[in-house]
Structure 1
Amino acid sequence: MVTLVTGGTGFVGANIVKDLVQNGHQVVSFDINGPDQLLQDFLGEYSSSVAFVQGDIVDPVSVERLGQDHQIDKIVHAAVYTVNREVLEIERSRDVIAINLEGTANLLELARTQKVSRFIYVSSGAAYGSALPGDQTLNEETPAVPGNLYGITKFASEMITRRYGELHGLSTASVRLSTPYGPMERVTGHRAVMSVFYDWTGRAVRRETIIAEDMDQGRDYIYIADIADGIRAVLDAPALPHGLFNLTTGIWVTFHQILDAVVELSPGISVETPAPKTDAGADSYSRGPLSGHRLFDDLGWTPKYDLKTGVANYIQWRKESNFLD
């Protein structure tokens, strides 16, 4: 019996695949992209233990074939079109809906026909949208008010996942991620806007000047290995008291704190601070931190990485893998 991970060659999916196979799961990765050398190196000795299948989650025939070729017991649906800029939302509106909604429906139908024991939908804090002012904490009882297609399709997929489970007797859960950073973040056809961690650690390993802009910003960032560990905790739990969980450190991290960590770990690196921008723009809203109390209360899960440890591991991975982008 295998665990299927969609989006298994992407940023979040690759880390989930690695964590699962390290912890005894027989993993099939389903992604429109095959594994490249960076991913093979990232998985290391576990690479040969993963079955990589290329295909499109929007194609129901390709998804159905997975059930014919593999005995699937669990599914982690992480494939997504991540769009967090309005210009991309305008250009790729139909693709966002197709991948994020039709893809979810196809995977849930596979879960139904395979009678899987657990289906995990990897969602996002973007589902909350502007539900509360940016200085307030968001828990799973906070009504979702997504404001863009990405958040809307994430929230809709959560609802579809929940209802499919109720109708067809499936154990399902949606997991809303706070903002991840770490190894395997890179530009792909379905992920174009990179985090400040990606930018600054890249400049640090290349020994380039860090351009420290928008320093009043922040997020509840979480190291990607904690994301993978938390997903596995929900996937493998004997029972789930709830069907929706936030996966987060619950700690607000400012750009100033991130910069301090990168500079401390990169002695001699230069930093340039441009004049502050005066136009906030339409994308300036930043939600508050997610609350992680439910995941802790239900399953006893807590994150293992603080900011300094996460940044140190990320920089070390970049150097060891010679990932300088």
Structure 2
Amino acid sequence: MRVVIFGGTGFVGVNLASALLARGHRVMLYDRKQLPEAAHRSLVDHGERFSVVQGEITDSDRIEALIAQGCDSIVLGAAITAGERLERAASSSILEINVMAQLPILTLAIRHRVHRVVNLSSAAAYGAAGQRYQLLDEETPCEPLSLYALSKFASERVVARYAELWGGDFISVRLSAVFGPWERIGKVRDTPSLQFQILAEFDRGAPAILPTPGFKDWIYAIDVAEAVALLLEAERPRYRLYNISSGTSWSALQWGEAFARLHPPLQCRLAVPEEKTFIEQHGPDRAPLSVERMASEFGWRARFGCTESASDMSVWWAQHREGA
């Protein structure tokens, strides 16, 4: 397939590109941000099957020219991933980028007969339901609260409606709490995972001190990439919406402790009362996402749990910490 990933230089996009290239597909990353040099080095060996185009997600003319050259599948991954600070500073931009910028791309996908579009949504769409239910499946009523959550829920509904109106093969996936290789923060992302923040403390030779254990159904970015690749390749998915998650909750503290054991004398622990910590948890703990829809239809389950992801990330960190 020829796949265009919008927002492709973000860490989920880079992991997805790596998975798709390994499966023999052609991948173009489209993003306003440059691809980090270390990530570029890890992908450039795929030659002509890999390319990067720097551009704005709102540049419809340029995007149409790219799609018109030939495109089998599109991944909608461009988004402002906002916490409260960014939500206050860029309220209108969150809706513009996360929802409105998708509309021309969906129209182009229909016009140019793109086979499939996968929209990367978020578990944030469940909102307050995450505290009211013990398990969140795709039929759980959503109660989004933040502008980011509202925008992701709206993006799902827009994608589904376009599919109903024009018959497009469009899917949304709700990603759980993602972490992993190539994660970074920037002007459009101010909610780094606890794992990213733990490694940032380790990078500066400090202990990683967490304000809370940080329980979530964390999902390793490599698992996300494999699940999305599977959906792009599937002949005829049954549903318009899928959860992608590890399906079980464990704490970032456990993960940090497992990572630190691989790199003595690193230390990860909880803060004692009134102790200052540079690590910040974004959003409350919530119920895990059910992955039975992905499991029953495709036989997919996440390969990386807490210890497995810590071990894999340890190898990546040792190889890339200077260039990442």
TM-score (ref. length: structure 2) = 0.92
Q: Measured at CA, do residues 154 and 273 of structure 1 come closer, stay the same or move farther in structure 2, by a change above 3 Å?
A: closer
Structure 1 residues 1-325: aligned runs within 5 Å: 2-43=2-43, 45-46=45-46, 49-68=49-68, 70-83=69-82, 85-133=83-131, 136-215=134-213, 217-271=214-268, 273-276=270-273, 285-323=284-322
> How many residue pairs align between the two structures?
320
Q: How big is each residue's C-alpha offset from its partner over 1:104-132, in whole Å with a ceiling of 9 and x where there is no partner? A: 11221121111111111011100110124
In the TM superposition, residue 284 of structure 1 has moved relative to its aligned partner by 5.2
Once residues 248 and 277 of structure 1 are traced to their aligned partners in structure 2, the CA distance between those partners, rounded to angstroms, is 34
Q: Measured at CA, do residues 203 and 156 of structure 1 come closer, stay the same or move farther in structure 2, by a change above 3 Å?
A: same
Could you say what secondary structure the match of 2:72 adopts?
strand
In the TM superposition, residue 259 of structure 1 has moved relative to its aligned partner by 2.7
> Retained in 1: the 8 A contact 2:159–2:172?
yes
In the TM superposition, residue 135 of structure 1 has moved relative to its aligned partner by 6.2
Task: Name stretches of at least 5 consecutive residues in structure 2 with no aligned partner.
Answer: none
Q: Measured at CA, do residues 172 and 225 of structure 1 come closer, stay the same or move farther in structure 2, by a change above 3 Å?
A: same
Q: How big is each residue's C-alpha offset from its partner over 1:141-178, in whole Å with a ceiling of 9 and x where there is no partner? A: 00111101111111111111111111112111100001
TM-score (ref. length: structure 1) = 0.92
Once residues 139 and 179 of structure 1 are traced to their aligned partners in structure 2, the CA distance between those partners, rounded to angstroms, is 15
> Retained in 2: the 8 A contact 1:220–1:290?
yes
Q: Measured at CA, do residues 219 and 3 of structure 1 come closer, stay the same or move farther in structure 2, by a change above 3 Å?
A: same
Could you say what secondary structure the match of 1:175 adopts?
strand
Identity %: 31
Could you say what secondary structure the match of 2:96 adopts?
helix
Alignment-mate amino acid for residue 210 of structure 1 = A
Once residues 277 and 167 of structure 1 are traced to their aligned partners in structure 2, the CA distance between those partners, rounded to angstroms, is 56
> Retained in 2: the 8 A contact 1:13–1:79?
no
> Retained in 2: the 8 A contact 1:202–1:324?
no
In the TM superposition, residue 189 of structure 1 has moved relative to its aligned partner by 2.3
Once residues 235 and 56 of structure 1 are traced to their aligned partners in structure 2, the CA distance between those partners, rounded to angstroms, is 24
Q: CA RMSD in A?
A: 2.2
Structure 1 stretch 259-268 or stretch 72-81: which is displaced more?
A: 259-268
> Retained in 2: the 8 A contact 1:210–1:272?
yes
